[in-house]
Amino acid sequence: MQRSEKKIPRYTITTICFTCLTLLVAASPNWFQQIDEAIYHIKWQLNTSLLTIINLLAKTATIGPMSLFFLLLMIYLFQKKEKVLAFWAVSNLLIVGFLGSVFKHIIGRTRPDLGALVDRSSASFPSGHSLLAMCLVCTVFITLTYLKVEKAKGIKIFLVAYLVLIVLGRILLRVHYPSDVIAGMLLSYSWVNFSFSVVNQRYLQTFAEEDITQRSRRHHRKRKSLLLVFSLTLLFLGTLSISAYGVSMYHNLKKTANTMYKPRKSSTKSPDLAKGEPVSFLIMGIANDSKRKTDYRSNALMVVTVNNQLKETTITSIPRDYYVEIAGTDGEYNKINAAHVFGGADMQIKTVENILHIPINHYFSVDMDAMKDLGDAVGGVTVNNAFAFDAEGIHYPKGKQHLGGWEALQYARMRYEDPEGDYGRQRRQREVLIQLTDKLLSFNSLLKYQEILDVIGENGETDLSFDQMMSMLKQYTPALKNIKTDQLKGYDFTGDGETGIEGISYQLVEESERQRVENAIKEQMDIDTNQDEQNQ
C-alpha cells in the first residue's frame, strides 16, 4: 500500500519567510541593511513623464480605490450566489490592511534616506501598496480558479503586470526598501491563501457536498471550528508581533545607547549593576540657549542615588550658583555650573566629588531644551503648582495641572516670580524630573518608545554602556519608582572682586549644611560617614 504524502501548504512557507524577514528587519544587522540598500547604489535616471505614471498607478493601490475594487468583486460574487466567497474576499482587504498597520507600528522602520522622489511620512515596513496589490491579485486569482471562469488568462496576466509595476514603482520612487515590498507580498499571500483554505474546507466544499438536512446540523460545529482556527491564527500573529516588537525595541535601544555613550576615565570604582549595588549619578541639564547665552553651563545639577536594598531613589539638587573651587584649575573659584563650560562632564563630576566628598559613579547630561520634546513624547506631565504665576506668556494657576512639553519646560525654568528664587526653580525641576521618570517607566511609554529614544539619543550623553543600561532596567526599576528629594541650601552674596567677580550673584553654603548633605548621600550609598575621603 502506497503511503500518501501530505504537502506543506505554500502559505506555511511564505509565513515562515515573512517571519524571518520581519525579525531581520527588526534586528537590522549591518550585512542585511547593506543588501537591502544595494539597489539604491545603482544610478538610474527617470524622466518626469515616467515618474508621473508611476505615481498615478501607485494611487490605485491605496485603501480608497482598493475598497472600490473589492466592492465590485463582492457584487459580482453575490450575483453568482457565492455569498461565503463574497464575504471572504472583502474580509481579506480588511484583515491584511489591519495587519499591515500593526506591523508598521510595531517595527517602526523609517523610510529610506536615499533621495526619495515622493514624500511619505508613515513607517516603511511592510509596504502598504505591495500589501494591498498582492491581496487583490491573490483574491481574484483564487476566485477565478474556484468559479472556473473561462478565458481568465488575460485577466491574470493583467493582474500580474499590475502587481509588478506597483512593486517596482515603490523601489523606483525610493520610498521603500526591497524587503518592505517583499514582506508586503508575503504577508498578503499568506493570509489570503490560508483564509481560503479554511473557508474552502469548512464551508465551500461542505456546502456543495451535504444535503439540506445535514447542513443545519453541521453548521454550528463548523462555525466553532472556524472560530478556533481564526483564534489560533490571531495567537500566532500576536506572538509574532510581540516578538518583532521586542527585537525592534532591543535593537533601537542599543543603537540609541551607543549614540549616547561617552566613556570617561574615573578613579571611582563603579558598583556592580548586575547585582543591584547602590549607585550614584550626576544629572546635568545643559543650557545651550543663544538667547540666554548660557555657554553650555549645567543649569540643572542633581546628584541621584539609587539604593536597591532600600528600594529607594533620592534626588539632591545643587545650587547652580554655588561658589566653589573648580576641579583641575589650580584653585580657581567660580559658580559650580561653570565647570561644565571649562571641562565638560569630567570636570563637572570631579568638582561635585571634591565639594561633597562623595563618589559619582555615572552621569547623564541632557540639553534642557529637549525637555519640551521629551515631555510631548511621554504625553505630558502632571504637576502640583505651589502658587500661580506667568512665564513666557503662559499662565500657571495654583494646584494640579497637566502640562505639555513646552509648558513643562517653562514651568521648570521660571525663577524670578518664585519667592524661593532658584531653590523654587530647583524644586520644580525635581518635580518635572520625577514625573518624567514615572512616565518613562510606565507601560504607555512602550508604545512610544521610538519617539522617546529619538529625543534622548539626539540630546543626551552618558557613560553608561548598553549592558549597564539593561542591568539598570532589570535590577533598579522598583527603586526608581520610589523617589525622594533633597536640596543643598545656601545663601546669596554678591562678588566684590576679591571673592567672586564684582557685581555677580553667587551662593555660599554653610559647612554644616554641606556636611548634612554629604552624610545623607553617603548613607544612601551605604558608605561609612566616618570614612576618609582618600579611602572612598
* 112 vs 518, higher pLDDT: 518
The residue that leads in pLDDT, 251 or 490, is: 490
Is the per-residue pLDDT at 234 higher than 70?
no
3-state secondary structure of 398: coil
- 8, burial (CB in 10 Å: exposed 0-12, middle 13-18, buried 19+): exposed
Give the DSSP H or E segment for 35. Answer: helix 30-37
Q: Please, which residues bridge with residue 383 across strands?
A: 401
Spatial CB neighbours of 399, under 8 Å, sequence gap ≥ 6: 384, 385
Instruction: Give phi and psi for 155, each to the nearest 5.
Output: -65, -40
Q: What is the pLDDT of residues 123-172, one digit of tens each?
A: 788 988 999 999 999 999 988 888 888 777 888 889 899 999 988 888 88
Report the half-sphere exposure of 131 (CA within 13 A, side-chain side): 28
Q: Is 45 exposed, middle or buried (0-12, 13-18, 19+ CB in 10 A)?
A: exposed
Identity of residue 102: V
CA 278 to chain centre: 28
CA dihedral 253, 254, 258, 264 (to 10 degrees): 90
pLDDT band at residue 227 using 50, 70 and 90 as cut-offs = low
> Which residue carries 519617539 as its cell?
451
Higher pLDDT, 245 or 535: 245
In this prediction, residues 510-521 reach a mean pLDDT of 94
pLDDT number for residue 350 = 94
Distance CA 262, CA 132 (A): 45
Place of cell 524644586: 427
pLDDT in tens, 10-64: 888 888 899 889 888 888 888 888 888 888 877 766 666 777 787 788 888 888 8
Q: Are 327 and 351 within 8 A, CB to CB? A: yes
Q: Greatest CA span in the chain, whole angstroms?
A: 108
Do the Cβ atoms of 429 and 300 come closer than 8 Å? yes
What domains can be seen in the chain, in order of their start residue? Answer: 48-209 (no CATH), 270-528 (3.40.630.190)
| Cα–Cα separations (whole angstroms), residue 377 to 89, 431, 452 | 39, 18, 6
Q: Is the pTM higher than 0.75?
A: no
271 pLDDT exceeds 80?
Answer: yes
Q: 141-145, 414-418, 460-464: lowest mean pLDDT where?
A: 414-418
For residues 389 and 417, the answer to whether their CB atoms sit within 8 Å is: yes
How many residues in the chain? Answer: 536
CA-CA distances (angstroms) from residue 415 to 292, 384, 425?
14, 16, 5
Integer Cα distance of 281 and 480 in angstroms: 13
Q: What is the DSSP letter of 322?
A: B
Does an H or E element contain 74, and which? helix 63-79
Could you report the per-residue pLDDT of 278-325, keeping only the tens digit for each? Answer: 999 999 988 765 444 456 788 888 899 999 888 899 999 899 889 999
Pairing of strands 362-367, 312-317: unpaired
Residues 6+ apart with CB under 8 A from 233: 194
CA angle 314, 320, 322 (to 5 degrees): 100
CA distances from 121 to 108, 111, 124, 175 (A): 11, 8, 9, 10
Indicate the SS3 state at residue 121: coil
Would you state the pLDDT for residue 217? 52
Percent of the chain with pLDDT over 70: 83
What CA–CA distance (Å, rounded) separates 226 from 231? 8
- Three cell numbers written together for 180: 518592505
Indicate the SS3 state at residue 391: strand
| Band of residue 95 on the pLDDT scale cut at 50, 70, 90 | confident
Per-residue model confidence (pLDDT) at position 145? 86
Where is mean pLDDT largest: 47-56, 333-342, 367-376, 523-532?
333-342
Burial (Cβ within 10 Å: 0-12, 13-18, ≥19) of residue 210? middle
Q: How many CA atoms lie within 13 A of 225 on its CB side?
A: 12
Q: How far is CA 218 from CA 83, 88, 199, 221, 485, in A?
A: 18, 20, 14, 5, 68
Q: 509 and 515 in contact (C-beta within 8 Å)? A: no
- The pLDDT value given to residue 210: 46
d(CA 133, CA 169): 12
DSSP state string for 91-151: HHHHHHHHHHHHHHHHH-PPPP-S--SS---S--SS-HHHHHHHHHHHHHHHHHHHHT-TT
Is the pLDDT score of 523 beyond 50? yes
Q: Pull the grid cell for residue 447.
A: 508604545
Across the range 200-206, mean pLDDT stands at 64
At residue 427, what are phi and psi to the nearest 5 degrees?
-65, -40
Place 117 in a pLDDT band, splitting at 50, 70 and 90: low
Residue 288: per-residue pLDDT: 62
For 396, left (φ over 0), alpha (ψ -120 to 50), or beta? beta
The DSSP letter of residue 108 is -
DSSP assignment of 232-271, as one string? HHHHHHHHHHHHHHHHHHHHHHHHHHHHHB-----SSPPP
On the question of pLDDT at 427 being above 70, the answer is: yes
Closest to 364 (Cα-Cα) out of 269, 271, 463: 463
pLDDT category at 3 given cuts 50, 70, 90 is very low
- Share the mean pLDDT of the chain: 81
CA distances from 137 to 66, 230, 434 (A): 11, 23, 53
* C-beta atoms surrounding 347 within 10 Å: 18
